[in-house]
Structure 1
Amino acid sequence: MTNASDFNLDAELDATSAWENDEFESGYAEPDLDAPDPEDSDDPTTGQLDLAERHQLRRVASLRTELEDITEVEYRQLRLERVVLVGVWTEGTVADAENSMAELALLAETAGSEVLDAIYQRRQSPDPATYIGRGKTEGLAEIVAATGADTVICDGELAPSQLRNLEDRLKVKVVDRTALILDIFAQHAKSKEGQAQVELAQLQYMKQRLRGWGGNLSRQVGGRVAGGAGIGGRGPGETKIETDRRRINTKIAKLRRELKEMKGTRDTKRQERRRHQIPAVAIAGYTNAGKSSLLNRLTGAGVLVEDSLFATLDPTTRRTTTADGRVYTMSDTVGFVRHLPHQLVEAFRSTLEEVADADLILHVVDGSHPDPEGQIAAVREVFAEIDAAGVPEIIVINKADAADPLVLARLRQREPHSVVVSARTGEGIAEALALVEGELPRPSVEFDALVPYSRGDLVNKIHQQGEIGSLEHTADGTRVTGRASEALAGELADFLVSP
C-alpha cells in the first residue's frame, strides 16, 4: 500500500535531459569560478536561494525541495497512499458500525496509508452492482475528487463485478477488506512458510478478479507454433486471461505442495511432544490484544512486541514448567479479526492447527477495547471454523492498567472462567499461571513406587511428566506417590509398592 515516493520517472528523465542540453530554464546559471567566494562576503544572505528560485528548482510536480544551499541534493518527502473508507451497515447497532469503521481505519494505517475520510450507510443488503448504490457512488466520487484520494477501501468483500463497476465510476483504485488484510499479511510475513501461506491466499483471491486495461486480457494469442497459440499454449482461440489464470493455478498447486512438506515437519514436532505426553497451551485471540506480550511475560520468550495489527504471523512455541516441575509448551499464534478472509483460514490451516490440537487455549482479550465482547465473538467464530471449539478455554482479559474497571467487572461477570492481567505491568500474571497449571490435563494413573537411587533418571521423568503427591528419601530408595501417564506408569511397574 505504501508508495515509495511521488516521483514521476518520465518527468525526471525529461527534466534531466533538458538540464544537460542547457534547455532547462530555472533562473540558475553556471557558477563563475572567478567570482568571489560567497563565504568571504559580508552579506549574510549571499549564497542562499530565495523563494522564487526554490520554486523553480521543483522540476517535478508534488515533490518538495527543501534546500539550504545550491550544493545540496533534493529531499523527496515520503507520501503515503491517500484513502477514503466506505462501509455498509446491514445489522447491529450504530456503535457496531462505528467500531468496524475504526478497525478498518487501523488496518489501512497499518498497511501504510493516510485516511482522509470515511462514510458508511444503512442498507438492508449491499447493492449487487456497486456495493453502496448509485446515489452514494456519485457522492463518493465527489469526495474522492475533493480530497485527491488515490484509493477507496470498502469494509467488506466485493464481488469482481462490484469492484469493476466502482473503479469505472470513481476513476481510482478500489480494494476491499480482504485485499487490505492480505496486503498487511504480505508485509509482515517473515518465515518461508508464512510467505508461502500469504502468497497462496493472494493468488486464490486474485484468480477470480483478473482484469486488464481495456480489452487486454480478452485478446487471443497469436504465433505459428501449436496451432497459432505459441509455445505452451492450448491452441488457437485461447485468450490472455485464460493463460494468466492457468499460470496462477499452476503456482497455487506448487505452493500447496511446498506447504504440505512444511506441514509434515510441523506434524513431526507435534507428534514428538505427544509421544512424551507434554501438554500444549495455545495463546490465541484478537489481533493486537497483547498475545506476544503475554507470552514474553509468562515464559520470557523475547518475541517481537509491537502496537500494530497482525505484527505476529509466524507461531512461536516455548517450553516452560509449572511450579511443581511439570513441563508444558506455550505457543503464540496469529491474531484474528472480524470477517477474517476465508483464503487466510485455508492458507494458514497448518498454523491454526496449533490451536485446534492444544490441550488448553488462553483466549486473550483487549480489556481497553471499545467492544471486547465483539472481539470474543469474532475469535470464537474462527475457533469453530478450525474445529477448536471443544478445546478448554481460559479468557485472559489483558491491558488491565488501561481498561475501565466497570468494563472489567462486566467481562468477569459474563465470562466466569477468566482472569484479569496486565502484560505490561505484571498484574495478575501469577494468578493466570496458577489457573493454567490447574487446567492442564492431569496424568490418569495413580502410583506408589519405591525407586532405587540408581534410577534417578526415572525420578526426574516423574517430575517432568507426572504429578507428585509425596516424595520421601528412604534407605532403600526414593518413595514417590502421585499420578503418571500410562507410558510412565509402565516404566514404574517394577518398583510399585504393594498396598
Structure 2
Amino acid sequence: MFEVRQKPEMVERALIVRLYFDAREQEESSSLLIELGELVSTLGIEVVESVLTKPREMQKKFLCGTGKAAEIAELAKAHECDVIVFDNNLAPSQQREWERLSDLCVIDREEVILDIFAKRAQTREARLQVELARMQYALPRLARMWGHLDRESAGSGGAGGGGTSRGMGEKQIEVDRRLAHMSIDRCKRELEVVRKQRKTQRKEREKLGTPHGAIVGYTNAGKSTLLNRLSGSDVMAKDMLFATLDTTTRRIDLPDGQPLLITDTVGFVRNLPHRLVEAFKATLEESVLADFLVHVLDSTSPDIQKFHDTTLEVLEELGALDKPIITVLNKIDRVTDVETLANLDRAFPDALRASSLHGDGTDALLKECSRVLADRVSRQQYRIPQKRGDILSLLHQDAKVLSTEYEQNDILVSAVVPPTIAGRLEEFLVPA
C-alpha cells in the first residue's frame, strides 16, 4: 500500500528561507516568512535562522543562483540544522537538487502545512482529506521520497543482498506510481461516501428549518474560542496555527428565542496550497451552505487587513460571498493603544468588538445574529386544545417554546416558529 510517512522525529532544527524577485514584494515576503516560522514551530521544530533574500533572477535549478544556494546550504550546516524549509513552492526536481547540495532534508511551505494537517485531523473526513492531499503532493516526488514509502512489492534488490540496478529501480518507481494512483482513487471513493453521509445529515437539519451560521477567519483568530463562549462547549482552542481542522456544529438560542446552529470551520492561511483548498472543500462547504457568516479577525495582528482579504478571497473561490457577513474584531481586550483602536474602527467601521476569551461583545454578536435572521422566524401566540398533544409536541420539537399557560381546556403557547411548520399551526393562531 502506498503511504507517506511522517517526518522523522530527529528533525529538530530548521533554517527557513524565502526568495523574492520583485523589490515591491519585500514587506509581504517578510510577513510570510514570519508566518512560515510559526507554522514550522507548530510542528515542534525550532527555527534557528531565517533568510529573506532577493536573487538577481529566477534560476531553474535552485530558484536562485548556485552561489546563493551554496551560501544558504552552508548557513544551514553551520547552525547544525536538520531541515531547510522554503516558503516558496519547490518543484520536485528543485527539492532533489537542494537535498543533493545540502545533504539535508529540504521541504517547502506546502509540505509543512500538510504535516500540520496530518497531526491535527481527528474525524474520518478530515483524515481522508489530508491523506488525499498528501498523496497528490507526493506522487510527482516518488524518487525523492523513496525512503518514505511502504511498498507491497519487493524492492530489496537482486541476489547480491543490497544493490538495485537502475532498470529495477525504474520498474519499482512505476509500481509505486501505480499503487499511488490506486490509493488516490480509493481515497476519493471513501471521501465521496463520507460526503454523501454529510449531505444526508445536512438535509435532516434543513428539514427542521433551523438557521445556520458559520464562523470563518484566518487561522488562530479565535474561532474555536468564540464557539466555546457562545455555546458553552469545549472545542479544542489553543494559541497556535491550525489548532483544529474539524468542523464542529453546536446549537444555541438567540436573544429572540430562535435556535441557531453555529459551525466552527478550518482556518484560512495565505498561500494555502490549491490542492488543500480542493481537498478541504467538503469541510469548507459549511461556509457555502450557511445562512450567514461570522468573520473573526485577530485585532492584535499587524497583518489584520491581509488576513481579512485572504479569507474573503478563499470565500469568493468557494462561492460563499453572496451571504450576510458579521465581522468581529476579536481579542480587542489586548489592544490598548488608542491610535490602533481608531485605525481598526476606520478599517472595519461595521465590525463588532469582542473578546471571545472573556465574553466581551458576545451579547452584541448574538443580537446581530438575530437581526440578520429576523425574516426567518415569527413569534406567535397559539391557543391549542389540550386534547391536541400532537400539536404541542410539534411545537416543542421544531419550534422554540417561550411560555405555556393553561386556561380551562386550552393551552396558551407563545413560541418562535420556523416557516417549515407555520402553515400547520394557522388554525390555532391567536389574533394579534
- The TM-score by the shorter chain falls in which range? 0.7 to 0.9
AA matched with 1:437:
S
Same amino acid, percent of matched pairs: 38
- CA pair 498-426 structure 1, distance change in 2 beyond 3 A: closer
CA apart distance, 1:334: 1.0
AA matched with 2:97:
N
- CA pair 257-2 structure 1, distance change in 2 beyond 3 A: closer
Identify the residue that residue 340 of structure 1 maps to in structure 2.
Answer: 272
CA apart distance, 1:171: 2.3
The answer on whether the counterparts of 1:326 and 1:465 sit within 8 Å (CA) in structure 2 is no
In the aligned structure 1, how far is the partner of 2:329 from the partner of 2:154? 63
Give CA-to-partner distance per residue, 1:428-468, whole Å, 9 cap, x none.
11111111221126237897864445446646756886699
In the aligned structure 2, how far is the partner of 1:395 from the partner of 1:125? 41
Unaligned runs of 5+ in 2: 1-5, 156-167
Identify the residue that residue 105 of structure 1 maps to in structure 2.
Answer: 37
Identify the residue that residue 293 of structure 1 maps to in structure 2.
Answer: 225
Q: 2:20 aligns with which of 73, 86, 89?
A: 89
Identify the residue that residue 375 of structure 2 maps to in structure 1.
Answer: 442
Give CA-to-partner distance per residue, 1:280-300, whole Å, 9 cap, x none.
111111111111111111101
In the aligned structure 2, how far is the partner of 1:190 from the partner of 1:434? 33
The answer on whether the counterparts of 1:446 and 1:484 sit within 8 Å (CA) in structure 2 is yes
Q: 1:491 aligns with which of 416, 424, 429?
A: 424
Give CA-to-partner distance per residue, 1:392-440, whole Å, 9 cap, x none.
1111111112224433432332223311111122211111111122112
Give CA-to-partner distance per residue, 1:112-134, whole Å, 9 cap, x none.
21111111123687533312333
CA apart distance, 1:145: 2.4
Identify the residue that residue 279 of structure 1 maps to in structure 2.
Answer: 211
Give CA-to-partner distance per residue, 1:298-329, whole Å, 9 cap, x none.
10111112111111011111111112321111
In the aligned structure 1, how far is the partner of 2:64 from the partner of 2:338? 39
The answer on whether the counterparts of 1:2 and 1:111 sit within 8 Å (CA) in structure 2 is no
CA apart distance, 1:477: 4.7
- CA pair 297-175 structure 1, distance change in 2 beyond 3 A: same
AA matched with 1:254:
R
Across the aligned residues of Structure 1 and Structure 2, the Cα RMSD in angstroms comes to 3.3
Q: Which has the higher contact order (CA 8 A, sep 6+)?
A: 2
Q: 1:420 aligns with which of 330, 353, 362?
A: 353
In the aligned structure 2, how far is the partner of 1:182 from the partner of 1:237? 27
CA apart distance, 1:347: 1.6
Q: Which moved more, 1:444-453 or 1:364-373?
A: 444-453
The answer on whether the counterparts of 2:217 and 2:267 sit within 8 Å (CA) in structure 1 is yes
Aligned residues: 408
Q: 1:129 aligns with which of 57, 61, 70?
A: 61
Q: 1:410 aligns with which of 343, 346, 351?
A: 343
In the aligned structure 1, how far is the partner of 2:387 from the partner of 2:300? 55
Identify the residue that residue 312 of structure 2 maps to in structure 1.
Answer: 380
In the aligned structure 2, how far is the partner of 1:198 from the partner of 1:2? 15
Aligned partner of residue 401 in structure 1, secondary structure: helix
TM-score (norm 2): 0.84
In the aligned structure 2, how far is the partner of 1:457 from the partner of 1:438? 31
Q: 1:264 aligns with which of 189, 196, 218?
A: 196
Q: Which moved more, 1:110-119 or 1:442-451?
A: 442-451
Identify the residue that residue 201 of structure 1 maps to in structure 2.
Answer: 133
AA matched with 1:257:
R
AA matched with 1:432:
L
In the aligned structure 1, how far is the partner of 2:396 from the partner of 2:26? 55
AA matched with 2:366:
L
CA apart distance, 1:371: 0.7
Alignment of 1:141-290 (within 5 A): 141-212=73-144, 239-290=171-222
- CA pair 162-260 structure 1, distance change in 2 beyond 3 A: same
CA apart distance, 1:213: 8.7
In the aligned structure 2, how far is the partner of 1:4 from the partner of 1:164? 21
- Which structure's CA Rg is the greater one? 1
Q: 1:115 aligns with which of 32, 47, 71?
A: 47
- CA pair 299-470 structure 1, distance change in 2 beyond 3 A: closer
Give CA-to-partner distance per residue, 1:239-284, whole Å, 9 cap, x none.
2222111101100111111111111121111111111111111111
The answer on whether the counterparts of 2:62 and 2:98 sit within 8 Å (CA) in structure 1 is yes
